[in-house]
Structure 1
Amino acid sequence: MRSAPDLLYEIRGLIAAHARPDLQTSIGGLLLSKVETEEPDYSLTEPLLVVMAQGGKRLLLGDEVFEYRAGQCLVVTADLPVTGHFLDATPQVPSLALGLVLRPAAIAPLLLEAPAGRWSRSTAGPPAIATGEAGPDLLDALARMLRLLDHPTDAPVLAPLIEREILWRLLTGPHGGMIRQIGLADSGLSHISRAIRWIRANYAEPMRIEDLARLAGMSSSAFHRHFRAVTTMSPLQFQKRIRLQEARSLLVARPHDVAGVGHLVGYDSPSQFNREYRRLFGAPPGHDAARLRADSHPHVIRHLP
């Protein structure tokens, strides 16, 4: 098998050739990112494997900091609001990364292929995010997946097979315990994920811990404990972060209606909205919106976490 540096060299070239501003590729679930600035970004993740091929990124989730660089991977197992800072990214040497959506339906069948004792549990605990090395076996499978972008007639047949291999490498690697939780319908992660999805869909609505706990099938105290373990935040802090990130997206189209946007995302107090927005994004809503609109295509550009 080729060495990790050789595989990363090929992966960098394929990402640079195929990356688009919206991250999407012709292969479902395969995302590519090319970033030329170290500006911070704020995103709502989904369960993902991300491998950095060039540059690096530092993520903030609540009070926890995660960093990964070229040749390393990030595993996210829940929908999470994160703040990211790219490292060493310039127009001449951009940050290059690939992502693969981690689908429960693709992971679940693999759980039946080996005894439960086979799965690594070293990182099965909270939070629902971790970093580590991307070994040669994983990089080799990812390189073959990327090559299919140049062979579109082969992709519908071969991409699902390579995805299965990638997931198997993850399941039998150091992050296996985390990945396993995605595929189990009755795992603690799946129960908390139901509450996370409710908050994301109803972020502007009043929230009762008792109702979320019932949705997750837990007592209120157990729910609060498990929610913080997965997200590193309390449910209220999580909802606030979702509200503010949604407000930022809305302000791109409505920069002169700060109070209206604040109300739309659930804030009854304009002063509280302005204060909390500035604390997260570093500028008042109106000023931040003006800066975003001055960027090239703020409504199109997306980033991998």
Structure 2
Amino acid sequence: MIYTITLNPAIDRLLFIGEELVKRKTNRISKVTYDLGGKGLHGSYVMSKLKIDNLAMGLCGTNNKAALYDILTEKNIRHEFTEVADESTRECYIVLEEGVSGSTMFTEKGLVVSEFEKRNLLEKVRQKVTSQDMVLIAGSLPQNYLISDLEELLYVLKDSGCFIACDLSGEALLKAVEVGVHFIKPNEFELQEIVSKNQSLTENLEALSERVDCVIASQGEKGSFCQYQGEQFQVIAPKVEEVNDTGAGDCFVGAFLSMFYLKKPIEECLRFASGCAASKVKNNDSTSFDIEDALDLQREVTINRL
């Protein structure tokens, strides 16, 4: 089983405008749609679509839980959230401009979590996760959820003997490295913060591999670098027409971990994940990708063993 833990989930509100966004002008919205937000939930969506057994866990607000649960049900994602009373799951506003690639995102801070809810989540994790499982913790931390709380969660997972994957940033990413998780996906600038600004990306990857089993350094549309079991790989992503890049990295992580969980060779994991991420950016929502398209696109992925 793969468990995803999204501590600060979101409901993405996609705002489509019929022309390029202009300051000091009334920019009229032509359409509004809703999708999942939060890196862990994006990962669960990919796993569910690939028929990988998984359960989405984390924290969500009671005020708008029906809206979140409706989206999860629509996307066939099994879930068991710890509910935070009298709080609302945050919304993210994603602006998509007609004829302009990419997107503009505005995010709310998220839930204010009490000690009671923190304990409840920890207890659920203790009861469920075993040494045979994989756990992905991904995304930002909600309000009042401290780095010490994350550290406690990570050590509960380490005690279970499971495989721990983290797609975090800032202090949370540093803590994951300090605790010694099995997988992380920093970008090239976060990698410098963790290791050294005076070393190359590949040197930093090699140094970090002494503490983390599998490290993937993302470079956006250019692809990524991976260090695993003493080997380094450069992954060059296929060229596609970008519509909305929101969630592309999360799609990569979900697909990579799905293949890794199935014990596929590392190059196959990287190739398929890159194909899925490339398919994602061709869609205008936050999660959608096409498996057949991803299988075609993975043939255009170049992997160089360094």
Q: What is the TM-score with the length of structure 2 in the denominator?
A: 0.27
Rg: which structure is higher? 1
Structure with the higher fraction of residues in helix conformation = 1
Larger RCO (alpha carbons 8 Å, 6+ apart): 1
Structure with the higher fraction of residues in strand conformation = 2
